[in-house]
């Protein structure tokens, strides 16, 4: 039963990752001929999850094993490998998430397969896969192609494809055997650590003014704080600022921080890397201040100010005080 596309589902704490629905949509839109699209759910006690996913108009395979109860690269690579070998798909689709960074290249390395990661869009043509990517801080678009008679491992950037909706009726759910050699599972799960409780809850704020590396010095945070206060907002940050400990980790907006949806989001000196955008793109009104007119933040912002934030903010504060 060769051909088709194998999509790897991602889930945590019994919940499907939103990126999985995006992968289903991306795979379905490729209109592959034989066998179409199959979604594989790996885990332990995930039958219910698999049934749920079959509602998204995709055939589901469930691969259960006690060693898949918690994700580890070693166990997953073995399990995925077994299914890739027995089904020989043209593509293996994985989300470009923390789990995807871990799994996709390691699978490709272990099986000696081609791999393309962090793709925004893919097109499967006769004999080749063409993928669209962004490089150099999102400032350059690139299309690359891969030709291979082996399955191609692809990771898709979360948020790049609209998610698959539920359809009429459900598709098949098939249990597939998994064999995992416990001795070859060298990576052992120890525990999960949950983030600390926040000093303020960014995700409930109506107005967020976020500072990025463009503010240049810790002292300049005062300016951002003063501006936030003037418009009844709280201060958030891009990751480099919380890494530098200029602000607590709980103020970080983005993939590895908070996802926020305020009425107003002002990005001050933030370039707009995909991991930052992931956390704020759904804000009601997005304003961005950046000296670089090509900064990708201007693609998600509604209004962009090409200015030095250290000059613009004092000028705006003056305007606001003048009334």
Partner 1 sequence: MALNLVVCLKQVPNPDLQFQVAPDGKDIKREGLNYKVNGADEYALEEAVRLKEKHGGRVVVLTLGPKRTEPMLREALAKGADEAVRVAYDDPAAFDVGKNARILAAAIRTLPHDLVLTGVQSDDYAYSATGGLVAGLLGLPHASVVTRVAVHDGDLEVACELEGGLERVVALPRPALLTIQFGANTPRYAPLPAIMKAARQPIKEIGPAALGLPGWDAIPLPYAFGVVRLSPPVAKGHAEMITGPIPEQAKKLAQLLREKGFVRR
Ligand X SMILES: Cc1cc2nc3c(=O)[nH]c(=O)nc-3n(C[C@H](O)[C@H](O)[C@H](O)COP(=O)(O)OP(=O)(O)OC[C@H]3O[C@@H](n4cnc5c(N)ncnc54)[C@H](O)[C@@H]3O)c2cc1C
Residue 49: count of CB within 10 angstroms of its CB: 18
For 70, half-sphere exposure in the C-beta direction (CA atoms, 13 angstrom radius) is: 7
Among 207, 308, 316, 317, binds ligand X (CB under 6 A): 308
Stretch that binds partner 1, among 23-31, 33-41, 57-65, 314-322 (CB under 8 A): 314-322
Strands 264-268 and 285-290, by their bridges, are: parallel
Stretch that binds ligand X, among 44-52, 56-64, 194-202, 234-242 (CB under 6 A): 234-242
User: Which does residue 176 bind out of partner 1, ligand X, none, counting CB within 5 to 8 angstroms by kind?
Assistant: none
Q: Is 200 in the site for partner 1 (CB under 8 A)?
A: no
To partner 1, the closest distance from the beta carbon of 24 in angstroms equals 19
Nearest to 1 by CA among 114, 80, 90, 104: 90
Q: Is 104 in the site for ligand X (CB under 6 A)?
A: no
> Which of 282/292 has CB closer to ligand X?
292
Per-residue contact string for residues 150-189; x = within reach of partner 1 by CB under 8 A: x-x---------------------------------xxxx
Site for ligand X in 165-224 (CB under 6 A): 212-214
Is there a contact between 51 and 86 (Cβ–Cβ < 8 Å)? no
Residue nearest to ligand X (CB): 254
Is there a contact between 213 and 94 (Cβ–Cβ < 8 Å)? no
> Which of 54/272 has CB closer to partner 1?
272
- For residue 1, the SS3 value is coil
The CA-CA-CA angle for residues 208, 226, 265, to 5°, reads 15
Which 8-state DSSP code applies to residue 279? T
For 102, half-sphere exposure in the C-beta direction (CA atoms, 13 angstrom radius) is: 12
Site for ligand X in 274-293 (CB under 6 A): 275-276, 279, 289-292
Q: At what angle do helices 73-87 and 98-111 cross, to 10 degrees?
A: 60
How many residues comprise the chain? 323
Among 169, 179, 192, 222, binds partner 1 (CB under 8 A): 192
The pair of three-digit structure tokens given for residue 262, joined into one six-digit string:
């305020």
To partner 1, the closest distance from the beta carbon of 130 in angstroms equals 6
Residues that bind ligand X (CB under 6 A): 212-214, 238-240, 252-257, 269-271, 273, 275-276, 279, 289-292, 295, 308-310
């Amino acid at each position: 039963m060769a051909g088709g596309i194998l999509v790897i589902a991602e889930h945590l704490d019994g919940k499907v990752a939103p990126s999985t629905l995006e992968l289903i949509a991306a795979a379905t839109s490729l209109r592959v001929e034989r066998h179409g699209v199959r979604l594989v759910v790996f885990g332990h006690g995930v039958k219910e999850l698999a049934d749920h996913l079959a509602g998204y108009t995709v055939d589901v395979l469930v691969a259960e094993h006690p060693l898949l109860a918690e994700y580890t690269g070693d166990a997953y690579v073995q399990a995925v490998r077994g299914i890739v070998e027995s089904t020989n798909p043209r593509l293996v689709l994985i989300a470009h998430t923390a789990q995807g960074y871990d799994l996709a290249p390691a699978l490709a390395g272990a099986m000696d397969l081609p791999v393309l990661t962090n793709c925004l869009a893919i097109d499967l043509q006769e004999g080749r896969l063409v993928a669209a990517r962004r490089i150099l801080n999102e400032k350059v678009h690139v299309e690359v192609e891969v030709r291979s008679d082996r399955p191609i491992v692809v990771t898709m950037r979360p948020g790049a494809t609209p998610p698959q909706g539920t359809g009429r009726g459900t598709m098949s759910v098939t249990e597939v055997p998994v064999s995992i050699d416990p001795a070859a599972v060298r990576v052992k799960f120890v525990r999960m650590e949950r983030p600390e409780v926040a000093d303020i809850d960014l995700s409930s704020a109506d107005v967020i003014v976020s500072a990025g590396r463009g503010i240049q010095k810790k002292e300049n945070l005062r300016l951002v704080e003063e501006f936030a206060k003037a418009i009844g907002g709280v201060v958030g940050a891009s990751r480099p600022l919380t890494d530098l400990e200029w602000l607590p980790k709980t103020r970080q907006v983005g993939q590895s921080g908070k996802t926020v949806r305020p009425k107003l989001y002002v990005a001050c000196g933030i370039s707009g890397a995909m991991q930052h955008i992931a956390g704020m793109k759904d804000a009601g009104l997005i304003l961005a201040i950046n000296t670089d007119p090509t900064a990708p933040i201007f693609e998600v912002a509604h209004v962009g100010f090409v200015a030095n934030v250290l000059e613009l903010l004092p000028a705006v504060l003056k305007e606001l005080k003048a009334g």
